[in-house]
Structure 1
Amino acid sequence: MDSVPQSTQMMALGVLLVLSGLFSMAETAMMACNRFRLKAAARAGSRGAQRALDLLAQTDKLLGVILLFNNLINAAAATLTGVLAIDLFGEGELALGLGTIVVTFLILVFSEITPKVIGAGYANSLAPVVAFVLAPLLRLFYPVVWTVNLFVSALLKITRLQPTRQEENQTLSADELRALMTESGHFIPAAHRRILINLFELEDVTVEDVMTPRNQIEAIDLEQPLEAIQEQIATAHHGRVPVFEGDLDRVLGVLPQRRVVSALSAGELDKDEIRGLLTRPYFVPSATPLYSQLQFFQENRQRMALVVNEYGEVEGLLTLEDIIEEIVGKFTTGQPGQVDALNWTDGSVIVDGGRSLRELNAKLGLSLPLEGPKTLNGLLLEHLQDIPESGLSVRIGQVAMEILHTEDRMVRSVRIFQPQAQPE
């Protein structure tokens, strides 16, 4: 080494540091890249992305070839720095100590920290590029890498620290997928993001959460006079109407509106003809998960179901449109005159007592409890253990409310006051 000029030695040291930095950058880029984005690029025909995926499928060998060259280069750089220190300052402990400090600083800055920051910041762009270099190196030095990994595998087996299989590491749970959708930012439009998140939440929602309550079901009682029944059919807001006799728990069937239009217009519709036009009612338990019910609708070719409790009593009505609205959001008001908008006005909002607690929480940012009753009226009755009078004020959690109108043993309208932000 004494015959080699110091300028050449310094140039060689610089080359070694750059090469070490390139391998550090490659390691970080390969480990930090988005594998799902690589898969999408590979399906689109990117050869670099496919090579990167092939390398990531054998992480132990990928790390083996990178660290093999990285450590060889760093060792060579340390040796060369020691030689330079002796040439400049002579032999002695001071020269060796100074050389150690210098080479440590150079490796940290130029071979480790800076390249790794660049690799992490541009991982998705760099991974397909560096794969073209790492793949041939791995094939060329495979025997050396295999030998080193043999000792590594033995050590891991002795210490019982066997890593999880690569396929399991790449599998995302439902919560991880939900978080991925939430944090997708501008890559997915907000409306599409809400739909995807709502799909994940279908398993946590039951038909009882979104059904039309029993007291709001539009149904026909055959014990009414024929004129009243005909008028109700003519003014019905829905295409399918349940028909019962005396009590809603005695459902006879479902009347498709289009079947009775011609008979009604001809004035020939009587109760016996109505019975003959009925289709078989479809019942579902109230605790059925909404996603399962969507599948049941598809398998049974149904669009409407009557929701029953454990005693067989009708609790409400669910339609296919209710499930679709739960996924994509409200797109219909159901009945003319029904107001769906929920917006704070001067720090409060007036809502119907039959409003769903889930809907109020979602649209107003509230935290009303969902474990018990499903409607605001039910929550107030359970909380007060009595039928309240108009003008009564109550606070449930952080939400203050004023009962505006009570009728027929139900809370009809409530003013909800906007909760104040809690100081941190």
Structure 2
Amino acid sequence: MMAINRYRLRHLVRHGHRGAMRTARLLANTDKLLGVILLGNNLINAAAATLVTVITIRVFGQGELALGMATLAVTFVILVFSEVTPKVIGATYPEKIAFAASFVLTPLLKLAYPVVWFINLFVQGLLRLLRLRPSGENQDSVLGIEELRTLVLESGKLLPSAHRGILLNLLDLEEISVDDLMTPRSQMEAIDIEAEADTLLRQLSTSHHTRLPLYRGHLDDIVGMLHVRDAAYHMRSGELDAEALMQSRQEAYFIPSGTPLFTQLRHFQENQRRVGLVVDEYGELMGLVTLEDILEEIVGEFTTQAPAQLSGFIIQPDGSWLVEGASQVRSINRKLGLHLPLEGPKTLNGLVLEHLEDIPEPGTTLKIAGYAVEIVQVQERAVKVARIFPIAGNVDTANG
């Protein structure tokens, strides 16, 4: 009864399983259930001990040796046949035993209810005297995020690995913010409405995105978002200019820095948006995050490109990877199967600078979380390209 899985029990109750329903009613009053079980258990054990004592006295007399041997014998029999063996069987097959036992325990509880009620009066009084309040069944059934994560991890063959990964990613959404996934400001593709018409046409016709930010002069002056489909008419008619773009634009949607992904997913749904611009506490543009970015964090990449051609990642003949310094650490871990630290800097460049506490020279090699990282190119006081060796210890740490 006590070893049965409460969640599976509720599932069977919802599906109308009679044994499960009877067991659930018994477990709803644990004190009464334990009362009737222990009443019968102790009554039988005491009766067995008394009976063995009487038989021993009549057969062997009142000798101390005979009574001692009889005590040991009855203790052995009770332990093996009444205590250990039944409890091991019950713990191994809780459902089968509990459902069958419920058919016996339910009428027994009704018959012995006055005795059980009388015993529980003393039990409850003693608990109050000790200032103890037994936790209810509802408190025992509440699981936190970490308990749910452990439950998913230990589900074994009950869940396919892909489903298990999705559930774990979903549980992590509250611990990840938009800052971890956003496309940094320096890598954003945006349109300057003050650019020449030829430049605008070329940029729109070669863009790989369907929605692009519009700005006037510099990125801090965002004037809206443009859906490339809405600009198609002006592109065909040759009337593509700042006025046409302003007519086709949509209002920009801004996201505060540090917003948890799960919260932002709900905001995207409530506001019917797919793209948001991340801003810091001063209103400065930090980057861009899309609905697809969040979905990929849950279910994995949607890209159809070959692994060797993933954006920002180029595999080398020796098994290492050339990675752009502006790549997100979380994206590197997911795409390359690494375990670089996620606390602290969000990009590979920031991670390298934090470890070295200086701007490195090309050729510098360092170890981060056991992975060898070689600086290949440095540009404008930032790591532009680095080589990562997936196998820890592949290259010794040295300065070039």
TM-score calculated relative to the size of structure 2: 0.92
2:312 and 2:323 in contact (8 A); partners too: no
- 1:244-255, aligned counterparts within 5 Å? 244-255=215-226
Counterpart residue number, 1:59: 30
Residue 276 of structure 1, CA deviation: 1.0
Equivalent residue in structure 2 for 1:309, among 277, 280, 290: 280
Counterpart residue number, 1:388: 360
Residue 252 of structure 1, CA deviation: 0.9
Change (3 A) 1:71 1:323: same
Deviates more, 1:125-134 or 1:198-207: 125-134
Whether 2:106 is the aligned partner of 1:135: answer yes
- 1:89-238, aligned counterparts within 5 Å? 89-238=60-209
Distance 1:287 1:150 in 2: 55
* Root-mean-square deviation (Å): 2.3
Quote the sequence identity (%): 54
Aligned AA (2:293): D
Aligned AA (1:410): A
Aligned AA (1:155): L
Distance 1:383 1:40 in 2: 51
Change (3 A) 1:413 1:125: farther
2:278 and 2:288 in contact (8 A); partners too: yes
Deviates more, 1:355-364 or 1:205-214: 355-364
Counterpart residue number, 1:23: none
Whether 2:329 is the aligned partner of 1:357: answer yes
Change (3 A) 1:113 1:345: farther
Counterpart residue number, 1:296: 267
Deviates more, 1:264-273 or 1:169-178: 264-273
Distance 1:313 1:382 in 2: 23
Residue 330 of structure 1, CA deviation: 1.1
Q: Write the deviation string for residues 58-113 of structure 1: whole angstroms up to 9, x where unpaired.
A: 10000000000000011111112222323443321111111110011111111111
Whether 2:379 is the aligned partner of 1:407: answer yes
TM-score calculated relative to the size of structure 1: 0.87
1:243 and 1:251 in contact (8 A); partners too: yes
Aligned AA (2:94): A
Aligned AA (2:342): L
2:312 and 2:324 in contact (8 A); partners too: no
Aligned AA (2:176): V
Change (3 A) 1:192 1:342: farther
1:221 and 1:245 in contact (8 A); partners too: yes
2:312 and 2:327 in contact (8 A); partners too: no
Whether 2:54 is the aligned partner of 1:83: answer yes
1:333 and 1:339 in contact (8 A); partners too: no
Residue 384 of structure 1, CA deviation: 2.7
Distance 1:293 1:38 in 2: 35
Equivalent residue in structure 2 for 1:372, among 344, 366, 380: 344
1:308 and 1:314 in contact (8 A); partners too: yes
2:193 and 2:241 in contact (8 A); partners too: no
**Aligned residue-pair number:** 392
Equivalent residue in structure 2 for 1:263, among 210, 219, 234: 234
Deviates more, 1:408-417 or 1:364-373: 364-373
Residue 366 of structure 1, CA deviation: 4.6
SS of the equivalent of 1:243 reads: strand
Distance 1:344 1:233 in 2: 33
2:313 and 2:322 in contact (8 A); partners too: no
1:303 and 1:320 in contact (8 A); partners too: yes
1:237 and 1:335 in contact (8 A); partners too: no
Residue 416 of structure 1, CA deviation: 2.1
Aligned AA (2:350): G
Equivalent residue in structure 1 for 2:310, among 323, 330, 338: 338
Deviates more, 1:41-50 or 1:260-269: 260-269
Distance 2:312 2:82 in 1: 61
Aligned AA (1:152): V
Give 5+ residue unaligned stretches, structure 2. 395-400
Change (3 A) 1:237 1:265: same
Give 5+ residue unaligned stretches, structure 1. 1-29
Distance 1:312 1:335 in 2: 38
SS of the equivalent of 1:31 reads: coil
Change (3 A) 1:150 1:308: same
